[in-house]
Amino acid sequence: MTKLSVNINKIATLRNSRGGNVPNLLEVAKDIQEFGAQGITIHPRPDERHIRYQDAYDLKPIVSTEYNIEGNPIRKFIDLVLAVQPTQVTLVPDAVDAITSNAGWDTIKNQSFLQEVITEFKNNNIRTSIFIDTDKNLIEAAAKTGADRIELYTEDFATDYAKGIKNAIKPYTEAAIFAHSVGLGINAGHDLSLENIQFFKENIPNLAEVSIGHALIAESLYLGLENVVKMYLHRLQ
C-alpha cells in the first residue's frame, strides 16, 4: 500500500490568520495520525507564512508515524532539519516568493550542490528525497547525488487529468519505472486529490508515498477530516 503523508501547512495558514492557536496544529497532527494517515509533512518557508520553524520542533514528539520536512536547502533549513531529525527531508527548489512549489530540481546543473547537502543529511540517518519532473536525464542525475528517493512533481498530470486527458499519466509511469531501475524510491505530490489519486496510484509502479495537503484540507471542509483521510487510504490500497 502507498503511504499517505498529510501536509498540514494549510492548518498553520488558518491558525496564523488570527494570530492565536486555533486551530491547534499539534492536535490536528495527532488527529490525522489517529485517523490512519501514515505520515505528517510540513514545508516551512523563510517568511514563516504558514509553518513556523518552531512548529517543526514542536511536532517532533507528536509525530509517531513518518515525519517529512520539505523545503529549499538554504543553511537555515538545513540546520533545522539536522536539529529536528525527521524521518525524511524532501528538497524543493522553491523561490522565496513562491506561493507554492512550481518546478522540480535541475539535478544536472545542481548535482554537486545536491550531493553535498544529501551527504550531510544521510550522515545523520535522514532519508532524502528530491522534488523532480519526469525527465529521465534529471532522474538519472538525481540518482548520482546519492538521494534515496525522488518526489514526482504532479501538477501537469493533475491539470490534464481534470480535462479528461488520462494519457497524461504516461510520462509519470515511465519516470517511475526508470527511477526504480536506477535504485530510487518513488514519492509523489502536488495537486493530487480524491478525484485523481486512485488513477494515479494504479498507474505508478512502486509508489511508496504521496504527500497531499491543499486538496485534502479543502475537501475536508466539505466532507470532514476523518472521512477524507479514510477516503484517501481506501483509494491507495
Q: Is 214 a catalytic residue?
A: no
Of 50, 151, 190, 219, which one is the catalytic site residue? 190
Burial code (b: 16+ CB inside 10 Å, e: under 16) for 122-138 equals: eeeebbbbbbbbbbeeb
Report helix, strand or coil for 210: strand
User: What are the E-state strand segments in 44-102?
Assistant: 66-71, 88-91
Of 50, 66, 70, 209, which one is the catalytic site residue? 70
Q: Is 70 a catalytic residue?
A: yes
Q: Is 151 a catalytic residue?
A: no
CA distance 42 to 21: 17
CA distance 109 to 138: 9
Looking at the annotation, which residues are catalytic?
A: 43, 70, 190
